[in-house]
Amino acid sequence: MTRSRLFSLALLLALSVTALVGIPAATAQDEPLRITLVVNGVLGDKSFFDSAQRGMDRLIDEGYNVTINTLELGIDPANWESGLADAMADTDAYDLLIVGTFQMGEFLAKRVHLYPDKYFIMYDDAVRYDDPEFCVEGCTNVYSVTYAQNEGSFLAGVYAGAITRSDLEGINPEHIIGAIGGQDIPVINDFIVGYEQGACLVNPDNQTLIQYAGGWNDPAKGKEIALAMYEQKADIVFQIAGGTGVGVFEAAYEQGKYAIGVDSDQALIIAETDPDQAQHILTSMMKNVDNSLYRAVDLFLAGELPFGEAEVLGIAEGGVGLAENDIYEDNTPEWILDLIDAVSDAVDEGAITINTVFEDRVALGYNLATVGLPCSEQPEVDFDVSEFLPE
C-alpha cells in the first residue's frame, strides 16, 4: 500500500484535473510566479506561521523564479474573512495564493470560483471538494495539503512516555506527562490521541494530563497551565498551542522540567535568545509546513500539482516527525534514540496503526479514537517495546 495518501478524488481524476488547469501563462513565459501568502495571524509565533514563511523564503534562497508577498491579517478573527477576500480580489498581485488553518477553509472555498484563472493552496485543512455548498464549482483550482499530525504526535508520545522512564535529572517516580492544546478542536485532538497512544505503547501505567488554553497568543496562560501540570508531577509537557505554548517553555525552565515543541524546531528558535531555556525543549513535533509548501510550489511550477484534491503527508513523506538537533541528541538516552528510530520505521512500514479523531481517515488505515482513552483501552500494537527498555 502506498504511503502517499491522496483522497477525495482518485489519482486518475487528479491528473486529468491538473492537465486541465495547467500552470499560469506568466510561468510558461518565464515571468516570475507571483505568490501571495495569507497569514491569519502574525509572523513571529516561532511555530506554525513562521514555518510557512520559511517555505517561501527557501524558494527565494534557492533561486526559484517567484516573488513573495506575505499578508498578516492579525490575531482578531473578525478580520480574517474580509482580509482574505481582499487578498483574493487583488488579482493583479498574484498567480498563486496560499492560505492555511481550518478557520480559513470555508472563506477560501466559497470564493475561488470567482477567480477561475487563479490558483490556490490550502494547507493544514482540506476544502470539501464534494460539497457543492462549500465548493460552489468543485474547487478545481485548489490544492489542499494536510498533515498526519497524529503520526508525528504518536512519536512525541513514545518519546514522552520513554522520558518518564529515564534517569534524566528532575524526572519523577510517577509516570505522568502533559499536553496543552490551543483550543478543543478536531485538529488539536488529533495531535492528542496520537500522543496518548504513543505514551501508552511505552508505558501502560502512563497518565496524560490534558488542558486547552482557549487561544493561540497568550504565553502567560500557557505558562500558568504548564506550571500546574508540573506541580501535578508531569515530567514533560507537549505544547500544541502556537504562541501560547511559548509560556510552556518558560515554565519548564523555571521548574527544571521538560517540554516538547510543535510545528517548528522550537528549541533551535528559542536558543537564539535564551539558550538555557532551550535546553529544556528536548524535541519538537515537526509539522513541516515549510517543506510541504516548498514542495507544492515546486510541483506547481512543473505542472504536476494535483488541483481538485487533498493530500495527507505523514512520516513517510516527511510531512511530520520529531526534531533531532543537538539538544535532542545530547539529552536523550541512547535507548530512547533507538526506540524512536524503530517506531518511526514501524509506522513508515504500516506495522503500527495510529489513532485519529477524523472519521474520514479511518479508510486510510487509522483507528478512530477519542481524547482521554486510557492505556487499557488503547488498540493492541504489534511492536515489542521491551527490547529497548533499560534494565
**Residue 28: is its pLDDT beyond 80?**
no
At 130 the three-state DSSP class reads: coil
| pLDDT above 80 (res 18) | no
Q: Which amino acid is at 157?
A: G
- Pinpoint the residues of the chain covered by CATH 3.40.50.2300: 5-148+289-313, 149-286+320-377
- How far apart (Å, rounded) are the C-alpha atoms in residues 135 and 167? 53
Q: Are strands 236-240 and 142-147 parallel, antiparallel or unpaired?
A: unpaired
Task: Name which of 297, 281, 301 is nearest 289 in CA terms.
Answer: 297
Confidence of residue 1 (pLDDT cuts 50, 70, 90): very low
Asked whether residue 26 carries a pLDDT value surpassing 60, the answer given is no
Compute the distance between CA of residue 351 and CA of residue 368 in angstroms, rounded to an integer.
17
According to the model, what pLDDT value does residue 160 have? 98
pLDDT of residue 367: 96
Least Cα distance to 45 among 224, 334, 247, 306 occurs for 247
- For a pLDDT cut of 70, what percent of the chain falls above it? 93
SS3 88: helix
Report the range of poorest mean pLDDT among 26-35, 148-157, 244-253, 267-276: 26-35
On the question of pLDDT at 10 being above 50, the answer is no
Within 8 A by CB and 6+ apart from 265, the residues are 284, 286, 323, 325
With 0.75 as the threshold, say if the pTM is over it: yes
Residue 254 vs residues 63, 220, 251, 267: alpha-carbon distances, Å: 43, 14, 5, 16
> With the C-alpha atoms ordered 222, 54, 39, 153, is the resulting torsion angle positive or negative?
negative
Residue-level pLDDT at 79: 97
- The β-bridge partners of 9 are none
The cell numbers describing 39, all together, are 497569514
Least confident of 30-39, 144-153, 190-199, 310-319: 310-319
In sequence order, what DSSP letters do the residues of 234-279 get, joined into one string? -SEEEEESGGGGHHHHHHHHHHT-EEEEESS-HHHHHHTT-HHHHT
Task: Confirm if 181 and 191 have CB atoms less than 8 A apart.
Answer: yes
Q: Which of 102, 209, 173, 168 is nearest to 331 (CA)?
A: 168
Mean pLDDT of the chain: 91
pLDDT single digits (tens) 372-388: 999 999 998 889 999 99
At residue 209, the pLDDT reads 98
- What is the spatial distance between Cα 354 and Cα 367, in angstroms, rounded to a whole number? 6
Query: Mean pLDDT throughout 13-28?
Result: 39
pLDDT given at position 142: 98
Please tell me whether residue 312 adopts helix, strand or coil conformation: strand
Give the neighbor-by-neighbor strand order of the sheet with 119-123. Answer: 5-7, 309-313, 142-147, 119-123, 96-100, 33-39, 66-72
**pLDDT tens for each residue of 289-305:** 999 999 999 999 999 99
149-286+320-377: which CATH architecture?
3-Layer(aba) Sandwich (3.40)
What b/e readout covers 278-297, taking b as 16+ CB neighbours within 10 angstroms? bbbbbbbbbbbbbbbbbbbb
> Where does the pLDDT of residue 20 fall: very low under 50, low under 70, confident under 90, or very high at 90 and above?
very low
For residues 23 and 322, the model is more confident at 322
- pLDDT of 25 reads 40
pLDDT at res. 304: 96
Whole-number pLDDT of residue 303: 96
Name 58's Cβ contacts closer than 8 Å, sequence gap at least 6: 290, 294
pLDDT digits (tens, 9 = 90+) for 126-147: 999 999 999 989 999 999 999 9
Res 6 pLDDT > 50: no
pLDDT per residue over 202-253, tens digit each? Answer: 999 999 999 999 999 899 999 999 999 999 999 999 999 988 999 999 999 9
Residue with cell 525543549: 281
Q: Is residue 48 scored above 80 in pLDDT? A: yes
CATH class of 5-148+289-313: alpha beta
**46 DSSP assignment:** S
pLDDT attached to residue 168? 96
For the cut 80, the answer to whether the pLDDT of residue 17 exceeds it is no
* Angle at which helices 149-163 and 186-202 cross, to 10°: 40
